[in-house]
Structure 1
Amino acid sequence: MSKFGELVNLEIPVLLDFYTEWNEASVKMHPVLRDVAATMGEKARVIKIDVDKNTQLAEALRVKGLPTLMIYKNGEMKWRESGEQDADSILSKLNEFQ
């Protein structure tokens, strides 16, 4: 969990994607998030978290639906949404927290 604190305690927005490889909606989000990461460059960070490999973290954050996306900045959760999202919506949210 201490590593998690280091990941999200940045001055730029950090987008977390909680996913599994067996969840179709999660897999569909992979190319969308690649595009988001490429567009944002150094202005934001995109981190994928496999729920199957990080069950404690997923439980602590009450991740139920997949994919679940969260934006953190300076260690504080700013936004959270479950389900598929399009790149424009995600980029718009990230830009809100610049």
Structure 2
Amino acid sequence: MNDSLHISCPACLATNRIPQARLEHSPQCGRCKAPLFSAQPFEADAESFDRILANTDIPVLVDFWAEWCGPCKMMAPIFTQAAAALEPECRLVKVNTEQAQSIAERYQIRSIPTLMLLHQGQEIARQAGAMDLSSLQRWVRQYL
């Protein structure tokens, strides 16, 4: 049985094959040597978002937000804290809906902030509105 996972590097977007048992051991990118998990959400544009989704075997938690959105600003530090708590179980990605309108349209984002959990390109769950850290972790872990 193959116990390796493909993980896209947040620094250079290279695809890395990592044994599942090594995920907890601070793996580094084979190309650029950056940490594959840094306890920080990845800020994605349209191109990098598609590459992360296509080349990452773990679930991807996406925060759809905009600069002008008050609840989004309130949610930002909570999402960063969630990255520290949820990696390497899932990859956390932020998508600015003003800068990546094509992604927001593709996923029919109607309100922000919207959190979406995707696995292998398929939507698993969606939640609109800001959450506190414990609620966010509980919501995500029920799907992991």
TM-score bucket of the superposed structures, by smaller chain: 0.7 to 0.9
Counterpart of 2:70?
24
> Are residues 53 and 2 of structure 1, via their aligned partners in 2, closer, same or farther at CA, if it must alter by over 3 Å?
closer
Any stretches of 5+ residues in structure 1 without a counterpart? none
Hey, which of these two has a bigger chunk of helix by percent? Answer: 1
Candidates 52, 57, 60, aligned match of 2:103: 57
d(CA) in 2 for partners of 1:67, 1:77: 16
Counterpart of 1:7?
52
Q: CA RMSD in A?
A: 1.7
d(CA) in 1 for partners of 2:120, 2:138: 19
The amino acid that maps onto 2:111 is: G
**Off by >2 Å, runs of 4+ in structure 1:** 1-11
Residue deviations 1:8-62 (CA, integer Å, cap 9, x gap) = 3433221100101110000100110011001112111110000110111111211
Looking at CA atoms only, which structure, 1 or 2, has the larger radius of gyration? 2
Q: TM-score, normalised by structure 2?
A: 0.62
d(CA) in 2 for partners of 1:58, 1:76: 15
Contact 1:13/1:97 (8 A) holds in 2: no
d(CA) in 1 for partners of 2:95, 2:116: 11
Counterpart of 1:87?
133
The amino acid that maps onto 1:80 is: R
**Equivalent residues, number:** 98
Higher relative contact order by CA 8 Å / sep ≥ 6: 1 or 2? 1
Counterpart of 1:40?
86
Contact 1:36/1:91 (8 A) holds in 2: yes
d(CA) in 2 for partners of 1:58, 1:32: 21
Q: TM-score, normalised by structure 1?
A: 0.87
